[in-house]
Amino acid sequence: MAGAASGGIRILLRLEGLCVFVVCLLAYARHGGSWGAFALYFLAPDLSFLGYLAGPRVGAMAYNVAHSLIGALATLAAGIMLSAPLAVTAGIIWVAHIGLDRALGYGLKYSSGFGVTHLGLIGRARVDA
């Protein structure tokens, strides 16, 4: 599939995701947030799946907005710069979610289908390929 990482690069990208996830867990532990809140909000970015109800193009756009590091890191940075603990907490949890997703192989989506990601094919798309 053109545009998807493969081989050693795909493995490296997934390992990076795992490192991001682990660092976020360590940062969250140091930050002192509630682990109940972490568990509750960890899956919040996955609400972007609802965008697929409007079709694959809108779904991919919604998913990518929620799973790009741009918004997550901006939230985290704003929380640090503005001394806003809630934003720091949200940023850490959001980045952790993205890191785990990438470690599991769930990359940013192409509009050609949910299973077509920058990290390769996932789910039914992989089986059908």
What pTM did the predictor assign? 0.89
Q: Is the pLDDT of residue 55 over 90?
A: yes
What pLDDT, on the 0 to 100 scale, is given for residue 123?
65
What pLDDT, on the 0 to 100 scale, is given for residue 52?
94
What pLDDT, on the 0 to 100 scale, is given for residue 25?
97
Q: Name the least confident of 31-35, 71-75, 81-85.
A: 31-35
How many residues would you count in the chain?
129
Contact predicate 10/86, CB 8 Å: no
Distance CA 56, CA 42 (A): 24
Q: Which residue has the tokens 């779904």?
A: 59
What pLDDT, on the 0 to 100 scale, is given for residue 1?
56
3-state helix, strand, coil in the chain (%, to 5): 75, 5, 20
Q: Is the pLDDT of residue 32 over 90?
A: no
Domain-wise residue ranges, the chain: 7-128
Distance CA 69, CA 47 (A): 16
